[in-house]
Structure 1
């Protein structure tokens, strides 16, 4: 067996990572025992009060520490378990947590049916789950309370978790980073649809076009294991918005919310409504936000103005007794967004999307569920330099006269996914299916003299650049003895082309604009209990990512990944990069203590990086060196640890730490954008009265001296911050939260943040911020 890249003629041989993965998959699969010893299990069947099965519910067994997620039929089978009594804890957004006790006998499967009650006051919650390589939740109390932080951007939520961070370039759109992976190295999925940024300038991200108030769950895969989600996922993020109510829900339930942050002068307002009328379930939501410049610790003022509004809707129709059709759509308008880390600001983003999804769930039989999705969305985006230094005359600059720069970009994406969930008997569970997307990109720049109106240049950035991917996937899970084993394989066919490019681009690239690839990816994971309280999980995966539109067709345009104020040339003949990663997770779960330790190593073959060229720059205001995207090699390894302990007097203490090492082997220097060593400690008091809580959080970040100096990265100092948050439910309908971030008003420089292209200074984080939030249930 060989897992490799099957590319255009004359390409290099399969990577070592792919060959190693193929051999390991064959050895591990052939070495599995044919049968295991009799053992007890628990089969949990989770439903709404109406009896409708609930998919996606987290089922956790205490004190064994095992966890699983219900499938389309609402079932989750966990084990093996020694004979004895266990407590089952079930959680799902929009429903009250359930706790039940069940006895397990040796060699038997204990059946437990749990109907969850609605919990409308939780409509405003955002749950974040980091998944192990076997796609099982590995959440802790600390992660579940992220919902109560005052997050204004999904990227800010990710900054709360070990191994995750985000790049700040401006007021909106903190760009997610997972263990050093970013941009299109991360597969981002919103309600199942593959999402891409709309502009070439690094202003927006796939997550920045979803209002934070609409997000109800956010899952993160820290490696190449989400093969059934979509193509090229070196890591992956999946977001679900506005869950539909279950059958039998009230005709109308909802909430309104409002909030304000000092320093940022940021205000928000919005609401949601859900219900079931005439057998049709609906969920409606909308939000409006605006902000202004903020003051960093130390007094520096950072441009951060923005305005954003969004409306979102879902309708669910019962097609049969066990299937439904869900229609969804949204529109978002963002205006006047400041980006101090970019040479231009955003004049607007207009985002329109729609989808149709058919879901089938069956309680028995070989076919347990079907999920069919089609979607389409568009992003229109315009940028200008009206508030940048280039809009003013400067005799010391070339050119000395003021410029009027306007850039338009647009993206159109169409896609779909079809998956079937099968029960093959003998403890086999299968998922098979396929997905496809087609993305077309267009971007052009106009530059005139601002004082006279005379034209300076007309530049083509993307000329209807198109990338399409069609993939097939299969994933199997089985319990063999005490082992939980899963394996996945994925085959993708990729097409890339561009209708038009500049003469300069044609003269300075080799090969054709059109490219074809066939890419094979695979993953194998296993988990085994180590006694009653401990559990060991291992994962090995290898995934292929094709080059994106910037990397293929950019004509001396600023890069999204890099922090240099330079120009970059694409290369249509780039090899796709392959990430091969191995993970080891060790977890413990005791009645009052939870521990988690993870270590991983990653090798990226044909890593898409940059090298300097002698090409002339397009703009005299750019850095003198033009860079080109090239293939290279890179190596990463890292470790993360978490601990949570329940103390007396309703106190909970949590701690976490993360470290990442990365090296660009081709350039013989540290990898670009590697966050420094970071530690977090949280102490939470929650007495169980009216949702009252008070939490203090301390963060310490070390100095980062490992910098990719050839690409403009510089070392950054360490820092510490202290945040305090609290909340209480006032009566049965209102929840109030308040807090202060960066209590001591420290000057905070996140190592991943972009630099100001005119001053070279890295964008600072906000100083002290007081905030208040109110949610009222209707």
Structure 2
């Protein structure tokens, strides 16, 4: 395993808020936190063996690296303390990995970007299933519903180097997974953490598991809260949030090879957005799932897995609950919008191994995802209005991925996938073609037919990768992948140009086709660990957003992409380690002869770690270059290129102490020098908040934080 990745800069900052988030969501999560504290006290008398196991399981105090477990995958533990302070959403954690960045809009709910690509090019999966947001402008991006610390593993596949996890993953695949609890005898495990920081930041997380060799129950819960922060110039940035999540799983394990698990979860929250015309006043998530895993069914059938999961995102936006209403941005009166996305997915896969050097996984997956909306005003509440379905997406895919160990030091990995993707658009009532369908989405519903507004495509994908282990601790790999991606809701429906009278995207927009070469190498000895990863790709029919006045439109272009990520780690002595990473992404619009918009700049992270017994300390210096390659007036569904951006450097420090076998303490200061800076990928401030309109939102200034972790 090669340690090679460094954290990103602070994402929250010091502030004395002038207007905190409302408290309507605080009571249930706070009660959960109190219950977690009582549970911790109740289990303080764990037996000596359990305490020893917990002590051995404690991780380093602050994360400065994750480990690469294969040439195409990166695996991280999202539960570990890290710098900057623990993430409030999935994008906030992902941007600590080289090659990732995030489109920022304030304190929480960023949208992750990998190698300059985002959206459905980078699917986010939880427990093997997609969770899709509902807002036409991705105000509730899928990452906003994910609390990283409630999961056990983060698995990232960069590039089109797998076909196992759904369609269209041209940039890569991100999976958040919970591990199966392993009980050989009855027992109880408990872990919790608490965080306090500047700008009113306070988080609580708890993870409780009880079981025996036959069954288990696991409950995870978290709450995250923050006020508006102040940037390095002392200017308040509208960014407050409050959110909570709770998940429960019941498992039956009649043997070491069998698992049947039923799970359910819920969450909610609200967030102020300094770069948008509305705030998110509800992020309701409801999830349930059922999965079956059976291993060693036959000498040639090593694994069979099946699962079904339903994720429901019920999101509310308005321009008056969390801010003082001010006309602008195309809205002349207080308004609220309620959008709903229900995503039901199923997957069956079998892993065959008829010879020691061959392994093949065959499977089938399906997705059904209708979208509905309704709106209202303070005097005409949205809850009294009927739902109107405006779109429905479906996908059915078959896949096969295999590994051939050609020699002890070389293997080939490859896969093929075929998807049948479909989309329906339901005309609005005012179009004279009938209203949208509720379709079981809740509430009363108007009716309409989508028979004349259906788009369907058969889309092949595949890859082949060669991996070689060399002498002296080195390895290399090279993979060629091809992905065809169906337009998603945010490209096909939300821009408002799908109807015949406004662009007819259903007739003109073509699937995106990416062919990409990924190469990499690793080497390590007793003191050094080095790794590199590079890619170059051609994209036919790249789906691009053009902005004009208050409207956006999408079209197909041809594009070129390339980039590199480098990392190194050097042991300087028994207690000292120095590490660093470098990431660069490049893109060109070949049709128009200009850069691709919203590409992140060159970025480096340099760190130094010291550890001696129970104590540790370290520092992180993050450097971002100026970005001059821009395409004004173009971008993606979240935003457009705002112009060039300046470079910056941010210094952060941390220290940790393992007080006992069960308790760890960590403290730090992010953005030590109180630097005033803005990420290139960011939204412009909204003048209605008093922040300069059209100017990128600045990141937090100096931020102090303290965290405690306990485990029994």
TM-score (norm 1): 0.75
Counterpart contact for 1:596–1:641, Cα < 8 Å: yes
Given the superposition, is the C-alpha separation of residues 462 and 748 from structure 1 closer, same or farther in structure 2, using an over 3 Å criterion?
farther
Q: How does 1:488-507 map to 2 (within 5 A)?
A: 488-501=415-428
Shift of 1:181: 0.9
Superposed CA RMSD: 3.3
Shift of 1:579: 1.3
CA separation in 1, counterparts of 2:2 and 2:696?
46
Asked whether 1:483 is paired with 2:406, we answer no
Write out aligned runs for 1:142-291 (5 A): 147=82, 149-152=84-87, 153-248=89-184, 250-262=186-198, 264-277=199-212, 279-291=214-226
User: Relative to 1, partners in 2 of residues 1:129 and 1:417: Cα closer, same or farther, differing over 3 Å?
Assistant: farther
Structure 1, residues 296-323: CA drift from partner, whole Å, max 9, x if none?
A: 1111210111111111111210244521
User: Structure 2 vs 1, CA of residues 438 and 579 (structure 1 numbering), >3 Å: closer, same or farther?
Assistant: same
8 Å contact from structure 1 (residues 170, 203) kept in 2: no
Are 1:537 and 2:477 an aligned pair?
yes
Contact 1:338–1:346 (CA under 8 A) maintained in structure 2? yes
Is contact 2:395–2:419 with CA below 8 Å preserved after alignment? yes
1:364–1:723 CA distance, 2 compared to 1 (3 A): farther
- Is the 2:227–2:241 contact (alpha carbons within 8 Å) kept by the matching residues of 1? yes
Cα separation, partners in 2 of 1:133 and 1:651, compared to 1, 3 Å: closer
1:730/1:557 Cα in 2 relative to 1: closer, same or farther (>3 Å)? farther
Specify which of 376, 381, 386 is matched with residue 320 of structure 2.
386
Aligned counterpart, 1:658: 583
- Contact 2:495–2:551 at 8 Å: present in 1 too? no
1:406 to 321, 324, 336: 336
The range that moved more, 757-766 or 495-504, is: 495-504
Match of 2:389 in 1: 463
Residues 537, 132 of structure 1: alpha-carbon distance in 2 compared, 3 angstrom cutoff: farther
| Whole-angstrom distance in 2 between the partners of 1:128 and 1:441 | 39
Q: 1:304 to 1:393 in 2, by over 3 A?
A: closer
In the alignment, structure 2 segments of 5+ residues that lack a partner are: 4-51, 435-450, 635-639, 688-692
TM-score, reference length from structure 2: 0.82
CA distance change for structure 1 residues 120 and 716 in 2, over 3 Å: closer, same or farther?
same
Q: 1:514 aligns with which of 440, 454, 458?
A: 454
After superposition, the Cα gap between the structure-2 partners of 1:489 and 1:305, relative to the gap in structure 1 and judged at 3 Å, is: same
- CA gap of 1:343–1:768, structure 2 versus 1, over 3 A, is same
> CA separation in 2, counterparts of 1:393 and 1:474?
54
Judge conservation of contact 1:146–1:157 (CA < 8 Å) in 2: no
CA distance in 2 between partners of 1:213 and 1:375 (Å): 21
Relative to structure 1, the CA distance from residue 251 to residue 229 in structure 2 (aligned partners, 3 Å threshold; closer, same or farther) is same
Q: 1:242, CA displacement in angstroms?
A: 4.2
**In 1: Cα distance, 2:255 partner to 2:470 partner:** 44
What is the distance in 1 between the residues matched to 2:653 and 2:682?
A: 24
Query: What CA distance in whole angstroms lies between the structure 2 residues aligned with 1:569 and 1:388?
Result: 35
Residues 129-170 of structure 1: per-residue CA shift (max 9 Å, x gap): 67688545588xx99977565222322222222211111123
Alignment partner of 2:491: what SS? helix
State the number of aligned residues. 630
Among 725, 728, 741, the alignment partner of 2:654 is 725
Closer, same or farther: CA 398–188 of 1 in aligned 2, 3 Å: closer
Once the two structures are TM-superposed, the CA of residue 235 in structure 1 deviates from its matched residue by 2.8
Partner of 1:313: helix, strand, or coil? Answer: strand
Among 417, 420, 440, which residue is 2:347 paired with? 417
| Cα pair 2:307 2:347 within 8 Å, conserved | yes
Cα distance in structure 1, aligned partners of 2:307 and 2:233: 50
Q: Deviations over 1:619-644 (max 9, x none)?
A: xxxx6353321111111111111000
Instruction: Report the Cα distance in structure 2 between the residues aligned to 1:143 and 1:655, rounded to whole angstroms.
Output: 20
Per the alignment, residue 617 of structure 1 pairs with none
- Residue in 1 that maps onto 2:13: none
d(CA) in 2 for partners of 1:644, 1:749: 28
* 1:345 correspondence with 2:279: yes
8 Å contact 2:73–2:156 — kept in the other structure?
A: no
Match of 2:361 among 411, 421, 431: 431
Conserved 8 A contact 1:127-1:146: no
* TM superposition shift of 1:175: 0.9
> Secondary structure at 1:157's aligned position in 2?
helix
Q: Cα–Cα, structure 1 residues 460 and 577, in superposed 2: closer, same or farther, change >3 Å?
A: farther
Paired with 2:302 and 2:420, the residues of 1 have a C-alpha distance of 28
State the Cα deviation string for residues 724-756 of structure 1 (Å, max 9, x = none).
112111112211111010000101210011112
Task: State how far apart, in whole Å, the 2-side matches of 1:356 and 1:123 are.
Answer: 34
**Match of 1:772?**
706
Map of 2:569 onto structure 1: 644
Whether the 8 Å contact between 2:132 and 2:313 is mirrored in structure 1 is no
Within the candidate set 620, 637, 640, 1:697 is matched to 620
SS at match of 2:490: helix
Runs of 5+ consecutive residues of structure 1 not aligned to the other structure: 1-59, 63-115, 559-567, 613-622
